[in-house]
Amino acid sequence: MSGYESEYDPELEELKRRQLLAMQQRISAQEAEEQRAALEAEEAQRQAILRQALTPEARQRLQNVKLVRPTIARALEDQIIALFQAGRIDKPITDDMLKQLLLRLASASRRETNITIKRKGEV
């Protein structure tokens, strides 16, 4: 009978391995779905705050900036959300105010580039 049992052991191990793999895939898919849902909820909350904090013209300008410079737009959104949550924004930000914020953010993030050309024989 021991020969009979050893015949089915590889099949049993393969079946166990497949079930374990399937269970791991279901768990990872569920975790990925939960993570995606959390990101969507966070983004929805960000958009709701921005709708309250910006006028329609300012929101449109922010969308335009996001198309061209997504990193600057994200930094600006973070700044506006922080100001709004801290209660430092009492009325919606207009397009002109958003331009000023963009200028300040752009000037703060701009690096100064100097190019020096040295010719042979010069010290």
Domain boundaries, the chain: 9-105
- pTM equals 0.65
Query: What pLDDT does 1 receive?
Result: 45
Tens digits of residue pLDDT in 64-97 = 999 999 999 999 999 999 999 999 988 999 999 9
Quick one: which of 76, 53, 52 has its CA closest to 64? 76
51 CB contacts (<8 Å, ≥6 apart)? 59
Tens digits of residue pLDDT in 103-114 = 888 787 677 778
Q: Tell me the fold of 9-105.
A: Helicase, Ruva Protein; domain 3 (1.10.8)
Q: Count of alpha carbons within 13 Å of 69, Cβ hemisphere only?
A: 12
Q: Mind giving me the DSSP string for 28-93?
A: HHHHHHHHHHHHHHHHHHHHHHHHHHB-HHHHHHHHHHHHH-HHHHHHHHHHHHHHHHTT---S-B
Quote the mean pLDDT of the chain: 87
